[in-house]
Amino acid sequence: MDTLNRRTFLAASAASVPFLSAMSSASSRASQPGPSRPLAISSRNGTPAVKRTMELLRGGADPLEAIVAGITLVEDDPNDMSVGYGGLPNEQGVVELDASVMHGRNHKAGAVAALQSIRNPAQVALEVLRRTDHVLLVGEGALAFAKAVGFKPQNLLTDQAREAWLRWKQQLNPRDDWLDKDQQVDTKPARSGGGGPPPHIPFTHGTIHCSAVDANGDLGACTSTSGLSYKLPGRVGDSPIIGAGMFVDNEVGSAGATGRGEAVIQSCGAFQAIQHMADGDDPTEACLRVLKWIAEHTKRHDLLNDRGEPNFNVIMYALRKDGAYGSAAMRKGSSFTVHDGTQARHEPCASLFE
Ligand code: GLY
């Protein structure tokens, strides 16, 4: 998959100041105290998840079971509109969830995609891993499986997410039958003031990824999401695709992705990151190398800014078997969460572009 060897890659990158600054921040991290285990990393929204994961790991839990218990907390949070209960719906107002899990020691994966009515898709993915010879169940089949193994269907669309979806619908194309905000008939009593900026419409590619390694060096990973907000029904992102939104090789490490799923699927992002670590990259270098590959393979003009760089974000996360970790985003300003056994904290992601 990777057509660049390490020497060519580094030579080609020499002209890229942002990339070099990210690489030097990666090497300065290398002079800090060495890697420790157990350790968990996650996307920025994963503080409760890494705390729970570490609690369970310290008690001797299996890394994947610990991670899924942690991610359940975020899936249950109605205020995280990118994951689980309260996630933003598809264009028809229906919440469709994607999740995948992978167990390092057994090298077995499980995943569900376009799952409706079940608030904890990571737990369902874990049951796919445990109870079936399959890896990925989708749509109605995933829901039937979830019900069969005891999950209770419920309405996942919170008032907050429904109102965001309605505001999005109000701003659709001029030929539909939804009135724009300024066309709507106001039947409420007249108020003084009014006007002001148009309402903010939440929009997300948001996702939670968590990777963890236990004291023995065994790894696990999970990625869970409500996917691209207002997506076409049935759209599946990278999160439930093994090798894209998440991958584990117990001999090497664990990796995951958040952000524009289409770009991560078309780059096999997590699998690439693991291969780069297997070739000797440290975790941050591995993440940056995936992002560079995505940038070089983004051809559509509508996805590029005027400098020819992707105008979307992808964040890669990587955890090596020895506990070394890293994360990188397309551009500056993103952060991720780490728990090294002492506390959960946010650290800045390296970046490919300024
Ligand atoms: N990365 C989440 C998605 O695109 O669905």
From 238, 290, 312, 334, give the residue whose CB has the most ligand 1 atoms within 8 Å, as the site to mutate.
238
Taking each helix axis from N to C terminus, what angle separates 63-75 and 47-58, rounded to the nearest 10 degrees? Answer: 150
pLDDT of residue 25: 46
The atom number, within ligand 1, closest to the CA of 235 reads 5
- Report pLDDT for 7: 38
* Per-residue pLDDT reduced to its tens digit, 88-114: 999 999 999 999 999 999 999 999 999
**Ordered alpha helix ranges (H), 62-137:** 63-75, 121-131
Q: State the Cα–Cα distance between residues 88 and 203, nearest whole angstrom.
A: 8
Active site residue 207: yes
Residue 229 alpha carbon to ligand 1 centre in Å: 9
- Of the given ranges (19-33, 225-239, 292-306, 339-353), which has the lowest mean pLDDT? 19-33
pLDDT at residue number 104: 98
24 has a pLDDT exceeding 70: no
What domains can be seen in the chain, in order of their start residue? 6-13+22-27+37-158+201-353 (3.60.20.30)
Say how many Å lie between the CA of residue 165 and the centre of ligand 1: 18
pLDDT at 177: 73
CB-ligand 1 contact for 256 (6 Å cutoff): no
Instruction: Using pLDDT thresholds of 50, 70 and 90, give the confidence band for residue 173.
Output: low
Average pLDDT over residues 118-123: 98
CA 228 from centre of chain:
11
**Residue 208 φ then ψ, to 5°:** -115, 130
Q: How confident is the model at residue 190 (pLDDT cuts 50, 70, 90)?
A: low
Residue 270 near ligand 1, beta carbon < 6 Å: no
User: Is residue 15 very low, low, confident or very high in pLDDT (cuts 50, 70, 90)?
Assistant: very low
Distance, in Å, from the CA atom of 160 to the CA atom of 92, rounded to the nearest integer, reads 16
C-alpha span between 352 and 23 (Å, rounded): 9
Sorting pLDDT into bands at 50, 70 and 90, what band is 174? low
Q: Which of 68-82, 147-161, 183-197 has the lowest mean pLDDT?
A: 183-197
Query: If pLDDT is split at 50, 70 and 90, which confidence band does 192 have?
Result: low
Q: How confident is the model at residue 28 (pLDDT cuts 50, 70, 90)?
A: very low
> Using 50, 70 and 90 to split pLDDT, how confident is the model at 165?
very high
Q: How many percent of the chain have pLDDT more than 70? A: 84
The reply to whether ligand 1 has any atom less than 6 angstroms from the CB of 206 is no
Mean pLDDT of all residues in 243-256: 98
pLDDT of residue 10: 38
Q: How far is the CA of 226 from the centre of ligand 1 (A)?
A: 8
Q: Rounded to an integer, what distance in angstroms lies between the CA atom of residue 133 and that of residue 152? A: 23
What is the pLDDT at residue 99?
A: 98
Q: Helix or strand or coil: residue 79?
A: coil
Would you say the CB of residue 209 lies under 6 angstroms from ligand 1?
A: no
Q: Is 349 exposed, middle or buried (0-12, 13-18, 19+ CB in 10 A)?
A: buried
pLDDT at residue 1 in the model: 35
Q: Is 4 left (phi over 0), alpha (psi -120 to 50) or beta?
A: beta
pTM of the model: 0.87
Quote the ligand 1 centre to 264 CA distance (angstroms). Answer: 8
